[in-house]
Structure 1
Amino acid sequence: MTTNAPNVRKLEGTGYQLGGSANVPVPPAPISINAGADFNLIYDKDENLYYYGTTQSVGVAPPIAGAEFHAEWGETYTLLQFNLFEVMDYWYIKIMEW
């Protein structure tokens, strides 16, 4: 996800998504390639403004052609926050000291 929110905490609360995806079969293989995109709106009630962003996806699916469009509403809450690079550095140092 890409967004203009200044930090991860600004992504909490009410959010909306509008997007879709499509499957394209890849003969003769028994698969299809799936691609999708969403436009995201996240409301910041403290600042009284909306942050926006996009989400893209690509994947493999059963060999079925088709497309779908959707609109979604959701609530986001942060339960745990950490810097993955700091955690990896910590464990790398611990392993190397072993």
Structure 2
Amino acid sequence: IDPQPLRKRIADITDVLMREEADTARLLAERGAGRKPAPTPLRTGIAAAGANELEATIADLTAQMIAAADELKFELAARLRDEVQELKKDLRAMETAGHVR
């Protein structure tokens, strides 16, 4: 058995996961995740709590995704990646709708 094709597929998977991690880092940096949100009319109440919770969940799941990939648990990493992508889509939709900045 030639392990070459398997190595390539693992490299492809890890590349996808690393791109997802980079996208998450960029999104959270743009949003200023980790700092206390400024009290603005657009970022108060439920919208602010929702956005802040989404940011924290995205960061946590991304860390779990990378840990799963490091442990060669690629199916789990892929499921986490899909969930992170959906959460980021929701966060971006909130921004587009003007609910948060």
User: Shorter-normalised TM-score: what interval?
Assistant: under 0.3
More helix as a share of residues: 2
TM-score (norm 2): 0.20
Structure whose residues are more often strand by fraction: 1
Structure with max Cα Rg: 1
